[in-house]
Amino acid sequence: MKVKVSEYMTKNVITVSKDNTVKDVIKLIKETGHNSFPVVENGKLIGIVSVNDIVGKDDNEKVENVMTKRKDMVVTTPDANIMDVGRIMFRTGFSKLPVVDNENNLVGIISNMDVIRSQIEKTTPKKLENIIKTYKSLGYNLKVEKKEVEVTKLKPTQNKIQADELVGRKYELKKGLAEPIIVIKKKNDNHYILIDGHHRAVAAYKMGIPKLDAYVIYLDTDKKLGIEKTAEMMNLKSLDDIKIVDEEDENSVKLKKVY
């Protein structure tokens, strides 16, 4: 299916007006870490101002005198295919594009990171579909919802994770690139059983991130699942119980077993 820009764009966009000054833009850059800002007037996109536009300019120079005007800009729409937008970014070198509706109202902004994230998340529904098929075949009634879940309410089902992969998941979380985890929510249970995404969950926990995007599979049962029984046998009650191991340590353990 075509993934639309509207599904991944940032809707709350930091903007400036044509009457703002270079000094105002510099202040915004320092406060937000962004390197460009759409210029709007009465909700309409009239330009964009970036770091390159203000280099060497007087602090009191108005934005309208240094910005790239709307007629010279590359923009996109909410219904555009996100991969088509990605190709435009690749060809032009732009890291983000303003998103406008048919009347040139600014409705969002899409970045190259958003494009990458949209492709990473495409792999998750395949895993999700297989898990759903498994539980349906076991006779469970279920429904699925994508939402944020509290990290502290996750119950792990995997007793160890790799240290090097944990570093990678931390980086993805910082960049907003992590795919959603997959969890099961039973009737009358305040916790979520973590099925897929243990590295992401531990990374978020270590980083103090309170919530994660998740595909939540709601099961109409309060009976203990087989995967829960296995977790209990491994003494897994919270994310603190997951052991972080190095690949070298794993290999040395295996060698000891062989010899």
Q: Per-domain residue ranges for the chain? A: 5-118, 140-258
Per-residue pLDDT, averaged over 181-187, amounts to: 94
Distance CA 10, CA 3 (A): 15
The predicted-structure confidence for 72-83, as pLDDT tens digits, reads as follows 999 999 999 999
Distance CA 141, CA 94 (A): 47
* 189: CB partners within 8 A, 6+ apart: 222
Q: Residue 256 — very low, low, confident or very high, per pLDDT cuts 50/70/90?
A: very low
Distance CA 115, CA 146 (A): 19
Q: Report pTM.
A: 0.59
Cβ neighbours around 49 below 10 Å, total? 24
The predicted-structure confidence for 193-231, as pLDDT tens digits, reads as follows 999 999 999 999 999 999 999 999 999 999 989 899 999
H or E, element range at 161: strand 160-162
Cβ neighbours around 155 below 10 Å, total? 20
pLDDT at 253 over 50: no
Matching CATH topology for 5-118 and 140-258? no
Distance CA 189, CA 135 (A): 18
The predicted-structure confidence for 27-71, as pLDDT tens digits, reads as follows 999 998 889 999 999 999 999 999 999 999 999 999 999 999 999
Structure tokens at 112: 């190259």
208: helix, strand or coil: coil
The predicted-structure confidence for 130-156, as pLDDT tens digits, reads as follows 899 989 988 888 999 999 999 999 999
* CATH number at 5-118: 3.10.580.10
pLDDT at 258 over 50: no
CATH architecture of 140-258: Alpha-Beta Complex (3.90)
Percentage of the chain lying above the pLDDT 70 cut: 93
